[in-house]
Each structure stands twice: as C-alpha cells, then as structure tokens.
Amino acid sequence: MSGGVLAGRRLGLVGAGKMAEAIVRGVVGAGVLSKDRITAFDPDPSRRKVMASLGVRTADTNAAVLEASGVIVIAVKPQAIVAVLEELAPDIQPEHLVVSIAAGIPTSLIEAKLPKGTRVIRVMPNTPMQVGRGTAALARGSHTTLMDMEAARTLFATTGIAIEVAEDQMDAVTAVSGTGPAYAFFLAECMMEAGVAEGLSTELARLITAATIEGAGAFLASSSVPAEELRKSVTSPGGTTEAAFNRLAKGEVREHFVAAVRRAAERSRELGTF
C-alpha cells in the first residue's frame, strides 16, 4: 500500500496506548509512512518506551508532537479529552488535521476547544486493529475536506477496514463495533466454560471456540444472507442448536442483549456531554 494522500505527511500521536501502537504497526507495516515520520508522546514512560522500541520518535511533551507533525491522532480516554484539548489548543496550527479516537466525544466539542477552523475527524476504531482486523468508522467535522477524509481512511485502512458514517450514527457504531469485541469475548468465555464442563481441556475449548467464532464471522462477512437466516440454516428441528436456543429464549437473552447494546450507545452519548 502506498502512502497516497499521506505521502510526505508526518503523523503525531497524543497518547501512546495499545490503539496508538496498532496504528504505528499498521502504517509502518503497510508502507504508508516510515518510522521517522511518526512522533508520539504519552505521560507513561513505559508507553514511550514501547513507541521507541517500534522505531518511532518520542517527544517529551504534547506540544513537541504538534511541532513535529501535520496529522495529529488524539488517542486518550474520553474522560481526559477536555484537558488534553485545552493543552493542545495554543499550539494547533491551520495545517494540522486533528483525528480523535476518544469514544463518545463529538467533533463539535473538539472544534469548540481548538482554534476556529481546525479540521477535525472523529474515529471509532476497535481493538482487533491490533491484529490488522479492526473496524474504524470515521465522521467528518464541519471544516474537514475530502482530502482530509481520504488521509484518515488511508491511515485506518492499514489496521482493517475504514468506513465513513454520519456523525449521528457514531454512538450506534460505538455500541456495535467499538464495544463489539467484548461481546464476542464474552460469548467465547461462555462457550469455553461449557466445553470444559462437558469434558474438553481448556486448550481444546479455546482453540475450537476461537476458530468457530472466526469462521462464523468470515461466513457472515462473505454472505449476502441475513444473519437470522444463517442462524436458522444451522438450526435443525429437534436438533442440538434448537435445544440451545430454546434454553436461551427462556432467559429472554435476545431482549437483554439488544438492551445491553443500546445501553452502550446511550453511554456513548453521555460521554459527549460535559
């Protein structure tokens, strides 16, 4: 993959946690940016050490990241975003493109904290980006250009898939995709626990659970058939799958699960209210 609209640009990471690390591995591995064109800062010395081990430049302050970079990814927790934006604001220049991956934080809030006219993109990635299988939804701010969006898409496409959505869809995306890996891990926990209870070793239960979930996801992604129909195709009358789903129905698992995902969307909206 070539750098495209990112060619010649410099990337700055404000926050150097696992998601920032995944971005570095993605863009460097795909040949989109070279290591010497990336600068990162994190208040945690251990995270700066990780960045240094990846071959990228580390800075002593966020201001130094801005000075060295054109595309700025803010990779901090939502609860820290206001303080970080207020720290960055004096050093933001017109040439900066600001990309935030803080869950629930709208572009309007980010724009309000930064100099007027700052180009902002909000992104909701998820943790599978750490293995190159992530999903990133991108929403543009009020001053964002088409070239800005293409630059952000190129950046996050190195870690999986990158799609543009309307900002009013971002809370739903956060609940389904951002939080989604945890749902899959919970399902895996349950499947493995049941497998062990039925006599499988922990190692075998983990192996077949992971392979089953990965295979089912690939099947769903490659098929135009609705998920409901795919589920029904596995459910033979009087068979094991039907027995399992009859048990789930007694606990109203579908209703509770849908409600849980919607609660995650609600919480995403709450995070954007200060």
Write the pLDDT tens digit of every residue in 188-209: 999 999 999 999 999 999 999 9
Judged against a pLDDT cut of 70, whether residue 67 lies above it is answered with yes
130-177 pLDDT, tens digit per residue, is 999 999 999 999 999 999 999 999 999 999 999 999 999 999 999 999
Q: Please report, for residues 104, 130, 229, 271, the alpha-carbon distance to residue 264 in angstroms, rounded to integers and kept in the order given.
A: 10, 22, 26, 11
This prediction has a pTM of 0.91
Q: Are residues 191 and 261 in the same domain?
A: yes
Per the structure, the complete domain to which residue 80 belongs is given by 4-170
Q: Are residues 127 and 207 in the same domain?
A: no
| Residue at which a domain ends, from 170, 192, 220 | 170
| Residue at which a domain ends, from 150, 170, 190 | 170
CATH of the domain at 266: 1.10.3730.10
* pLDDT at 167 (0 to 100): 95
Number of independent structural domains in the chain: 2
The DSSP string of 48-116 is HHHHHHTT-EE-SSHHHHHHH-SEEEE---GGGHHHHHHHHGGG--TT-EEEE--TT--HHHHHHHS-T
Q: Are residues 58 and 119 in the same domain?
A: yes
Judged against a pLDDT cut of 80, whether residue 2 lies above it is answered with no
